[in-house]
Amino acid sequence: MKETYTSLLDAPINEDLVVLEVADVQLGTWLQRMGIFADGHLTRHDEEINYHPVRIRADLGEVVIPAGLALKIFVHTDELKKPLVEMEKGESGHVEAMTCGKGCVKALEHLGLKDDTEVTFIRSLPHMDYITVIDRKDRTRLSEGEAARIWGHSPGQKSTQFYFARRKQPFKVEEIIGGRKLIQHLTTHGVYAGAELSLESIAPVQEMHAPDMEHITISSPGGLRMYLTPMQAGQIVVKSLDRKLDEIKTVAG
């Protein structure tokens, strides 16, 4: 396990980070009020977190496309081409292109999407936390986008996304729709192929209002989402842990 020290501004995305030091006293005090202390944990998110996942109808019926994948799908509607995330309610079209590699294309096929697939946009989905029990003992919070990337099944049911899981029903994880970084991030929560999940409840995301300026998005272990300026992020020193995930089953994204 390799430890890496850096400022939060340059820290890896979607990894468990440990706060070592906050150079600015006022910023440190504010973070403590938000529940983040020295030696405490936080996660830095990529731009996907600033978009909403979308619910669409395609070849497999209704599916939820995480924002990070929806940003890479371009749909031809009438005479226009637009990213899937920019479609409007009830709008239809066909997949024109996917601006991602082979792994991403394979992941999207898993959800019934490929070139020329007819899609109908149902709606953008609100940011929600999926409070989840793992292997009947540990509890964690998953975003709605993460829930959409977890593929598995409940006893006697066909395979689907964890996003559609029923409360209090065991859900066996078959695979994660995503690449190594996402697998690593979910593994820190205890989610991996073979794990048993149980959806306990769904709650709105606790969110400090995002500023209009450029910002770095982070979240606390309790699920509170916060927005820092690049200058603030540069004053926070964190440690990341590089874990090997050779045994994790994945559809690479």
CA distances (Å), origin 157, targets 56, 58, 235: 21, 20, 49
* pLDDT of 248: 38
Q: How many other C-beta atoms are found inside a 10 Å radius of the C-beta of residue 203? A: 12
Q: Tell me the pLDDT tens digit for each residue of 90-126.
A: 999 999 988 777 777 877 888 889 999 999 999 998 8
**Is residue 55 classed as helix, strand or coil in its secondary structure?**
strand
Q: Which residue has the higher pLDDT, 15 or 130?
A: 130
Q: Which residue has the higher pLDDT, 80 or 173?
A: 173
* pLDDT of 78: 82
Name the residue among 240, 243, 242 with its Cα closest to residue 20. Answer: 240
Domain range list for the chain? 4-47+207-240, 54-124, 128-204
Domain 4-47+207-240: give its CATH superfamily: Ferrous iron transport protein A (FeoA) (2.30.30.90)
* pLDDT of 179: 74
What size, in residues, is the chain? 253
**Across-strand partners of 94?**
76, 118
Q: Confirm if 120 and 90 have CB atoms less than 8 A apart.
A: yes
Q: Tell me the pLDDT tens digit for each residue of 126-182.
A: 888 899 999 998 888 898 889 999 999 999 999 999 999 999 999 999 999 877 777
Q: Classify residue 97 as left (phi > 0), alpha (psi -120 to 50) or beta.
A: beta
Average pLDDT, the chain: 85
Query: Apex CA 201: angle with CA 197 and CA 203, to 5°?
Result: 125
Q: Which residue has the tokens 């020295």?
A: 38
* pLDDT of 245: 39
pLDDT at residue 66 greater than cutoff 90: no
* pLDDT of 252: 38
Kindly give the residue spans of alpha helices, DSSP state H, lying in the chain. 25-33, 67-70, 102-110, 144-149, 180-188, 230-234
How far is it, in rounded angstroms, from Cα 6 to Cα 244? 20
* pLDDT of 122: 97
pLDDT at residue 63 greater than cutoff 80: yes
Helix or strand holding residue 109 (H, E): helix 102-110
* pLDDT of 241: 67
